[in-house]
Amino acid sequence: MQQLDLYTVLSSEWDNVSDQLMIDQYTRQSIESKNRGDPKKCIREIIETWLRDEKSLKSNFACTWNGICSLLKAIQLSSASEYLEAALLADVSSFNNNLSEKGMF
């Protein structure tokens, strides 16, 4: 399975992501100015803002991997969402297998 760089996938949609996460216009402009419009840096800071301020934002997306998958679907990046879901499932399966091998599960 090819590795997915979530920030690269989201960087072209960073403004749309910030809309979906309910990040206010002032914060978005500040982020864009601070990062000189670099989309990869902007999306990193948008995600950091979301993680830090989840409770104060009125976003429909929880700060969980499922929330990120839902966000990806909402901005028409279903293939990235499917990839992330498959990668997470594979990681969980691998973790469970490891526990089973050690007699812990």
Q: How many CB atoms lie within 10 A of CB 102?
A: 8
Q: In the chain, where are the structural domains located?
A: 6-101
- To 5 degrees, how large is the angle CA 105–CA 98–CA 96? 55
Task: Say if pTM beats, i.e. exceeds, 0.75.
Answer: no
Q: What is the pLDDT of residues 3-40, one digit of tens each?
A: 557 777 777 788 888 888 888 999 999 999 999 988 88
Which CATH entry fits the domain spanning 6-101: 1.10.533.10, 3.40.50.1820, 3.40.50.2300, 1.10.510.10?
Answer: 1.10.533.10
Sorted by sequence, the CB contacts under 8 Å of residue 85 that are 6+ apart come out as 69
